[in-house]
Structure 1
């Protein structure tokens, strides 16, 4: 069997690898073994090319079944410790030839095996063979049997199938690539699950420069050594998925019953000239010799590839290790992928939501390496000393790298904030007062420096698209989410930064709900001029009169209801009195009082009419003033 070694391996971050194998061979087939878990990816992606002029005829692999399922129809079953006796039992009834000692043979139908007693050696077991021609059964001790020639084709095939199935591992499957006869230069490539590669960095800082060194870490989980292979580590996230191509699937079909029907007569159509011409043309084309096959797209693409140390693949970025790599089976390795000098600066950066109370020491670099940097941990070394660790984010070429690596405990920062509203302007809009006011947010940062050196801290202040800065220092830097302000703190002293932001809000209030005192405050604050103040004050006076008339109407209504109650009482009393004597005199008094209440009710009605007329007149005057 010819073995195809791995010549190149490309690892990705999402748990797959692209493997390339190539070798010359003269066999008519090549076998490759894969874990069962990789079969779906292999069947989805495997390609095979014969660059030596031969032909790849096809691929074959075992249908996914357990060993017991594969051996279900096999007549031969052998155990691990009694394979010879199991073989004799399995061949019962089949034509065999026993090869005995002393160069003796005996052919016939195998009758079976009689086991030796428990205390006797296995060699004393008896093997029986039926000689059909002589109608005799011959028995021989198993110890005399040196071999068995199986004349029955089914028996020999089942034995061969059992042994082949025994070689197959339950956790692995074999794929056989069938080739045409002759010499071959065979290359095979495929995608298979693989541990994701990782990256770790070292950042050595000196003055205003830093040396960034990157190492790619990968694992050889294959069941073979990798010797002098090409290695590429790809950053990015290509689309990938598992599609079940390995497990057989037979969809269910509807079951239909036969229906009785009358046979239809033959139907014929006349052939068109166009169809006939096409048929003749197709026949001529079929008879003509086929032209030579054009070069494959893969071959053309491979001829145009340029291999460099790093390669930008659009959405992906690839680190190509130029030195061949050797990694033993079950081992892992580290390969250098980056070494670049970058312009760097050291800052103290504070963000209370990420690290409360203290700023963090941060190295800030510009990715001038020309490479895309994959996310990974970085160890920071300053002046030859280990000073901390950080997590380097995914950074494209030219991007900024911010690596906080230590907490500055010598500087403590306290935050305080308040929010208030201040009226900005007033406008009259009909019967409403439109009030514009500033919604102001103020944030104060106080830094206490306990060290003997002056410290400059960059404060990260959350930015908002709804607020604008005012009466605040200009930010030193801006990001999508933050404004960065510089806060200087002398040695063993404090520094303060106050950031104020505001937004303009507006609301409406009814003029009639304002007060004279409020108008006076607006006038004193310069929010209203004297003319507008007087106009609004006059309107307030009119509204007060309207409210007074409405209150008078309410009083008159209460008075009317009281008179109605008196009249009902008088009427009730009068019903119990007679028309003469003292009762007649009392009845006369009630009549007089009823007349008086009636006159009073008439006066109330007249007063209500006057009040309503006054309200109407006042409201007309108010409407005229508002319209003006």
Structure 2
């Protein structure tokens, strides 16, 4: 039954494909595709995409018709599951189902059955498929003819079966079309309809998820001072379309791009609202019957206490919100702006490019001589041998996108490197090997600290001290060629470079150039200074510590006199303190002597004939008491003098400032 098998194909007739004309690839994971073509009158354009690409297509699709035509709309395959789509049909076609089983679902439909040269039409009463041991498989359809006659048609002998009802035929074709589309799997079709009845040109452009294009370079050194730089772009056509003679451009930029789920149907939860139910009429109550009615359990609620219906509540809420909505102005403003995208740059190929679907290509976008010099780079103590490197000056007039670069020297492979994006006129160092014929060693030396500045404020003495550090690089060139070495000296936080002056400064390094004669040793000394502040309370400093600050040459004469006065007062205080300690020691010794004398007197009083000795001890004890009183007076005077000196020192400390 060929009529049935061709039903699905008729649905897509009149849809034309638009070939790809232009492709622009970016670094942010998307690509811009432009298609264009001529469509005949009444013809729709058909585009095919992966299901995962539909979100980007629906978000970015732009359609232009030349010649005055207008786009009527865009149709595309829904993402509903096939079973859910087929469930809407009143019939079901299962796999390997016989014709009789399919027809039996269309009882009441008008059909035409062709057997041999005869065609019979009528209303389908039913169809059956049966088989037995005595009789082979058989399929029959029973038709009610216009004459009222029931006729049985042998479906096994039929050459065609056709639905005479256009509505039934359309549903049957739609069913088969959905089944045919499901075989495409991940593919989705999009149709562009137009109101124009004449031939017209149409352009469709959109973005798709695409691999970022990549750049790689070859740097060829020869005998000349410059070098030849070749740039190759690697592009991947992951689409299902061939790019035949397309205009290709590569943009090294990252426009903002995101995924918005437009392809997936979005269902919004809605509130439920119902009309109020009609209530049964309550009996009319008269005053004389109120008590009896209450006893019977019949009560009526006052109208004011009845809750409003859900529909009325919704209407009231909308009425309350309406003024607020009307007072909010529109935030949508149409604005266009022409601007220069300074950070992006584009490589556009002048000749058409062909890349087949699911293939990749490597296309040359640069071949030009640029200024380059070979040198060595030493970047630290991790390895004694410097890196073989080249300094590239981008004189191509183009921005070079970052990527790997392979270096060839005198026709031989020399190494590989990575190059960051290089704008026109900029320079970049690339390292691609190790030079074993040159060794670098370094030695660090810290010199004595020098007090650069002394400040005093409210008793706090702050000193600014400088510490000089020196690092000497010693380079041994064992080769027979003169070389140029760049030493990258790390920039340390808090340190200031004194000498020598660097040729370049990066975020992390000072760069110094050092010419290396053949078979010779050369050195470079880098001087740095670290300045730091130290604060201390001047009251805690000794006289000797103050005198050290007094001798500092950075002090002003006023500051020097103030510190000298403080040192002098501290010396007087120290002298009085020493006197107090000396007197205390003498007092302590005298107290011990008095204790010993008292013990002797007590012992002698027990012995007869020792009165003279007791008298002598008593006189000695009396003399010591007089001396002890004098010592205590002297100690008290010393304490008073010390206290006066300390008060004077404290006043000086509080008021002194420089």
Q: TM-score range by the shorter chain?
A: 0.7 to 0.9
Deviation at 1:505, TM superposition (A): 2.2
1:131 corresponds to: 144
Aligned pairs for 1:444-459 (under 5 A) are: 444-459=472-487
1:42 is aligned, of 38, 57, 60, to: 57
1:482 equivalent to 2:509? Answer yes
- The match for 1:198 among 195, 214, 219 is 214
Over the residues paired in the alignment, what is the CA RMSD in angstroms?
Answer: 4.3
Q: Which residue of 2 aligns with 1:208?
A: 225
C-alpha change, 1:99 and 1:516, in structure 2 (3 Å) is: same
1:542 corresponds to which residue?
572
- 1:143 maps to what in 2? 156
Gap runs ≥5 in structure 2: 1-14, 276-307, 316-334, 593-617
- Contact conserved, 2:494 with 2:531, CA < 8 A, in 1? no
- SS of equivalent to 2:16: coil
User: Against the structure 1 CA distance between its residues 532 and 411, is the aligned structure 2 distance closer, same or farther, given a 3 Å change threshold?
Assistant: farther
Cα distance in structure 2, aligned partners of 1:428 and 1:104: 120
Corresponding residue for residue 376 of structure 2: 348
Please name the residue that 2:41 is paired with. 27
2:194 is the alignment partner of 1:164: no
Task: State the distance in 1 between where 2:211 and 2:261 align.
Answer: 21
Is 1:469 aligned to 2:485, yes or no? no
Decide whether aligned partners of structure 1 residues 427 and 229 sit closer, same or farther in structure 2, where only a CA change above 3 A counts: closer
For 2:245, the equivalent position in structure 1 comes to 228
Comparing 546-555 with 326-335, greater Cα deviation is found at: 546-555
Determine the C-alpha separation between the residues in 2 that align with 1:60 and 1:349.
62
Which whole-Å deviations, capped at 9, do the CAs of 1:442-465 have from their partners, x for residues lacking one?
333333434343443211112357
Assess, with a 3 A threshold, how the Cα gap between structure 1 residues 510 and 465 changes in structure 2: closer, same or farther: closer
The answer for the alignment partner of 1:268 in structure 2 is none
CA distance in 1, matches of 2:107, 2:369: 80
- Report the equivalent of 2:188: 173
Map of 2:20 onto structure 1: 6
Rounded Cα–Cα distance in structure 1 between residues aligned with 2:587 and 2:252: 87
Task: Count how many residue pairs are aligned between Structure 1 and Structure 2.
Answer: 553
SS at structure 2 position matched to 1:40: helix
Q: Residue by residue, what CA displacement relative to the aligned partner does 1:403-459 show, whole Å, maximum 9, x if unpaired?
A: 212122322333444556603246473755443311333333333434343443211
Distance 2:403 2:474 in 1: 34
Residue correspondence of structure 1 range 3-402 to structure 2 within 5 A: 3-28=17-42, 29-82=44-97, 84=99, 87-92=102-107, 94-101=109-116, 103=118, 105=120, 107-116=122-131, 124-131=137-144, 139-153=152-166, 155-168=168-181, 169-180=184-195, 181-206=197-222, 207-256=224-273, 258=275, 259=308, 313-352=341-380, 356-402=383-429
Determine if contact 1:99/1:148 at 8 Å carries over to the other structure.
Answer: yes
How much does 1:94 deviate?
3.9
**How big is each residue's C-alpha offset from its partner over 1:483-538, in whole Å with a ceiling of 9 and x where there is no partner?**
11234445455433322211332323344544566567667886789978864542
In 2, are the aligned partners of 1:27 and 1:183 still within 8 Å (CA)? Answer: yes
2:522 maps to which residue?
495
Q: TM-score, normalised by structure 2?
A: 0.73
CA contact (8 A) 1:198 1:216 kept: yes
- CA-CA distance at 1:245 after TM superposition: 1.7
CA change 1:432–1:237 in 2 (3 A) is: closer
State the 1:320 CA deviation: 1.0
Aligned counterparts of 2:584 and 2:259: Cα–Cα separation in 1: 83
1:615 aligned counterpart, secondary structure: helix
1:338-370 C-alpha deviation (Å, 9 max, x unpaired): 1221111111011128x6433211111211111
Higher mean alpha-carbon deviation, 68-77 vs 253-262, is at 253-262
SS of the equivalent of 2:17 reads: coil
- Unpaired runs of 5+ in structure 1? 265-296, 302-310, 563-591
Query: Please, what TM-score do these two structures have when normalized by structure 1?
Result: 0.76
